[in-house]
């Protein structure tokens, strides 16, 4: 059966019955007999779902009905060892849901035309399942929510959204599916899903992978707003309060992602322009400024942003000073990327001093290159020696 499901080229297809014969034979056996083959058969349906004009399609649809009845009997006892995020991609019931969406898509109906009459009862059957089967089926459909909402918004509002927007653990589970879809990237759907996104981000049941995906959607909405897209309904206060409650690892990853956005820009001028137009407003208006968000890991990634801001280095230093905490640094030039071919110490000695002063944990062992950095600062700006922050750095050398 794997040959028909996956087109395994190791075997010769000429010596095997054709697919029409296989499907016809599967329709004649009992549900119990077909149960061991549900994964392969659901894959066969998936492969032929978009060929509505084929002679075998009526039997494909009949096989879909037969498998649906068979699969739901095994859902509550199946796949508990997998995360829901994986189950939404691999379970036979999820495959059946995806196949039904593919069938609907093959009809090429226009926006708002609704689900096809020949499929709507099957969509309803999926959406109305209870228990774990219902979570899997609705989760698979939610992954296709942008498409379904475009052609059948009333059906989505009636069948998919109510369970998703409830304050239940099942709703949190369903957000595992939403996190893997592009729905949160679309303004209208983001606004509809926002309460569920915010709730899932703060819920202890949400795993790290899903939380990272959803926080990325939140950040994407914030940057879209900054870019002038008024369709997203997200205030700075909402975003800031939610991110404040994020686990340290998630927030640190997000700080790294901001740096990645800057790395994608080439040259000091382009990076500075992106800093001024996007990153600076984001850190000012959306990033959490509460002290609980200033962990060592978050501060470490935020500390790299000025070096990535191109000609906006000085402005970037000012922006992050209130968002970081003192942390142990082992080598300043490397840890803060002060060299990198741009010699930031010579170009911006005063700003470099501010950055180091804000970040350096004076209770920890001094960085290995502190003496060299102090010397270079003094060489770049002889008057910097009268700055109290500079004297505190020199005192760390004496303490060492």
pLDDT digits (tens, 9 = 90+) for 100-152: 999 999 987 788 899 999 999 999 999 999 888 899 999 999 999 999 999 99
Q: What are 194's strand-pairing partners?
A: none
State how far the alpha carbon of 380 is from the alpha carbons of 270, 316, 370, 373, in Å.
26, 20, 15, 10
pLDDT recorded at residue 10 = 44
Q: Which residues of the chain have pLDDT under 70?
A: 1-17, 74-83, 85, 398-400
pLDDT recorded at residue 249 = 87
Q: What is the dihedral of CA 59, 64, 66, 72, to 10 degrees?
A: 180
CA dist 273 and 265 (Å) reads: 9
Q: How far is CA 341 from the centre of its chain?
A: 33
pLDDT recorded at residue 142 = 94
CA dist 335 and 87 (Å) reads: 41
Domain boundaries defined on the chain? 17-180
Q: pTM of the predicted model, to two decimals?
A: 0.81
Which residue, among 258, 263, 197, 195, has the nearest Cα to 226 in the 3D structure?
258
pLDDT recorded at residue 5 = 58
């Amino acid at each position: 059966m794997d040959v028909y499901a996956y087109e395994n080229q190791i075997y010769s297809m000429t010596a095997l019955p054709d697919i029409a014969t296989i499907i016809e034979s599967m329709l004649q056996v009992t549900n119990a007999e077909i149960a061991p083959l549900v994964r392969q058969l659901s894959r066969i349906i998936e492969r032929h779902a978009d060929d509505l004009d084929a002679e075998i399609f009526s039997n494909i649809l009949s096989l879909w009905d037969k498998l649906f009845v068979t699969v739901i009997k095994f859902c509550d006892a199946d796949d508990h060892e997998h995360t829901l995020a994986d189950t939404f991609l691999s379970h036979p019931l999820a495959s059946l849901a995806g196949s039904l969406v593919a069938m609907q898509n093959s009809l090429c109906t226009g926006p708002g035309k609704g689900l096809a009459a020949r499929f709507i009862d099957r969509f309803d059957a999926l959406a109305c399942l209870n228990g774990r089967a219902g979570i899997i089926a609705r989760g698979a459909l939610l992954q296709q929510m942008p498409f379904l909402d475009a052609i059948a918004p009333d059906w989505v509002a009636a069948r998919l959204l109510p369970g998703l927007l409830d304050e239940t653990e099942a709703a949190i589970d369903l957000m595992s599916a939403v996190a893997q879809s592009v729905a949160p990237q679309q303004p209208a759907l983001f606004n509809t899903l926002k309460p569920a996104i915010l709730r899932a981000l703060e819920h202890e049941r949400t795993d790290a992978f899903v939380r990272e995906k959803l926080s990325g959607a939140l950040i994407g909405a914030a940057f879209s707003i900054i870019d002038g897209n008024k369709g997203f309904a997200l205030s700075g206060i909402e975003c800031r309060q939610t991110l404040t409650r994020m686990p340290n690892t998630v927030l640190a990853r997000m700080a790294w992602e901001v740096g990645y956005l800057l790395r994608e820009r080439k040259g000091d001028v382009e990076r500075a322009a992106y800093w001024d137009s996007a990153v600076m407003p984001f850190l000012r208006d959306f990033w959490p400024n509460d002290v609980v968000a200033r962990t060592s890991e978050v501060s470490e990634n935020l500390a790299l942003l000025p070096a990535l801001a191109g000609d906006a280095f000085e402005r970037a230093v000012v922006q992050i000073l209130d968002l970081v905490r003192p942390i142990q640094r082992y080598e300043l030039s490397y840890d803060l990327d002060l060299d990198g071919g741009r010699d930031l110490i010579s170009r911006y000695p005063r700003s470099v001093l501010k950055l180091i002063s804000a970040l350096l944990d004076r209770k920890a062992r001094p960085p290995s290159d502190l003496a060299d950095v102090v010397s270079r600062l003094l060489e770049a700006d002889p008057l910097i020696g009268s700055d109290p922050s500079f004297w505190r750095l020199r005192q760390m050398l004496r303490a060492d």
